[in-house]
Amino acid sequence: MGARTTSIQVARLAGVSQSAVSRVFSGASASPETAKKVRKAAKQLGYRPNVLARAMITGKSRIIGLIVAYLDNQFYPEALERLSNALQAQGYHILIFTVPNTADRIAGVVEDLLDYQVDGIIAASVSLSSGLTDLCVKAGIPVVLFNRGQPGSGLSSVTSANIKGATMATQALIEAGHSRIAHIAGWEGSLTGRDRQQGFEDAMARAGLTPFAIIDGMFKRDTAASIARQLMTGDTRPDAIFVGNDHMAFAVMDEIRQMGFSIPADVSVIGYDDVPLASWPAYDLTTVRQPVNRMVEATLETLLSSINGQEVYPQTIEIEGPLIQRSSSKPIKGS
């Protein structure tokens, strides 16, 4: 038990040197006969190379560290699944860390990751301090931020085109005839949140409209719900709300309906992300799609080319997604 077969035992059985065994399994040159003998012996003994030992020598662990917060937001399980599948297909493996989005916890996580000699790090929706960024750079470990930009950090990032997406959403609201439009923003500590707010403000300004309100929802259900209640209480109410992401938008819709209002008759709601739940009839949420698959592809391409030594300049990749018009918001007039 626990006594794994080693390359020496295989060598002994196959009647070759240990180096020969290693060569066969590491894909180096070996004669067909040697290879055959080795493979036969290996199969007989159930031999498989110790990846850790290999990693120590090659300096490549083939492990990618993934840091993720907000797992209760449906967007991330989906992203995780796609990242995981794509990485597995390339022979990489994911060491996963779930973290609350606080700087101190993240520091510990990054150090753990470096201790494991990961080949690269994907940080989903978390920011790295400049100290941590330095650590990774010094260790030669590439980092890609997923769904969260961090200007001036020198880190690559992959996001959707948040400003543009938010502009589209807001414009759709305006073109549907709304004028008292509120925005429940994502967390202002995140560029993603700020960009979406920016897009909202741009579109409003361009239309000559004043935002009914802009309030930070912190990307949290509870916060968003209570903001919605507050907005819908009182004499003048918004006739439309653009919410910083779907996760909050569901809470907003729940709250508004519980207050007895009807969506979109009394108020239109638009979200951002297009998570699976958005298309379920219970919500049928109009939203801006973040193309998860393309974001994942871009992330891996960026990360893997850095790993493979191509000097990659920090890239800021933004991927556009369409507005998905559903029944939570009034359609554009005349359409």
Partner DNA sequence: CTGAAAGCGCTTACAG
- Out of 7, 61, 167, 299, point to the residue binding DNA (CB under 7 A): 7
CB neighbour list of residue 75: distance below 8 Å, 6 or more residues apart: 147, 245, 246, 247, 273, 275, 290, 292
236 contact choice in DNA, a second copy, none (CB below 5 to 8 Å, kind-dependent): none
Q: Which position among 7, 22, 34, 61 is part of the footprint of a second copy (CB under 8 A)?
A: 61
Minimum Å distance from CB 177 to a second copy?
26
With CB under 8 A as the contact rule, the residue among 36, 222, 280, 322 that binds a second copy is: 280
Q: Which stretch binds a second copy (CB under 8 A): 95-103, 155-163, 210-218, 323-331?
A: 95-103
Count residues binding DNA (CB under 7 A).
28
Interface residue with a second copy among 234, 281, 313, 335 (CB under 8 A) is 281
Give φ, ψ of 253 to 5 degrees: -65, -45
Q: Which of 15, 19, 116, 210 binds a second copy (CB under 8 A)?
A: 116
In sequence order, what are the residues at sequence separation of 6 or more whose Cβ sits closer than 8 angstroms to the Cβ of residue 111?
A: 135
Q: How far is CA 19 from CA 7, 34, 52, 264, 268, in A?
A: 8, 11, 17, 71, 69
Residue whose token pair is 């779930």: 98
Phi-psi region of 247 (alpha: psi -120 to 50; beta: other; left: phi over 0): alpha
Q: Considering the complex, state which of residue 58 and residue 90 has its C-beta at the smaller distance from DNA.
A: 58
Q: Which does 76 bind (CB under 5 to 8 A by kind): a second copy, DNA, none?
A: a second copy
What 8-state DSSP symbol labels residue 246? H
HSE of 122, CA atoms in CB hemisphere, 13 A: 30
Would you say 212 and 181 are in contact if contact means Cβ atoms under 8 Å apart? Answer: yes
Sites for DNA among residues 26-65 (CB under 7 A): 26, 28-31, 33-34, 47, 49-50, 53-54, 56-58
CB of 83 to DNA, least distance (A): 26
Binding residues for DNA, per CB under 7 A? 4-8, 16-20, 22-23, 25-26, 28-31, 33-34, 47, 49-50, 53-54, 56-58
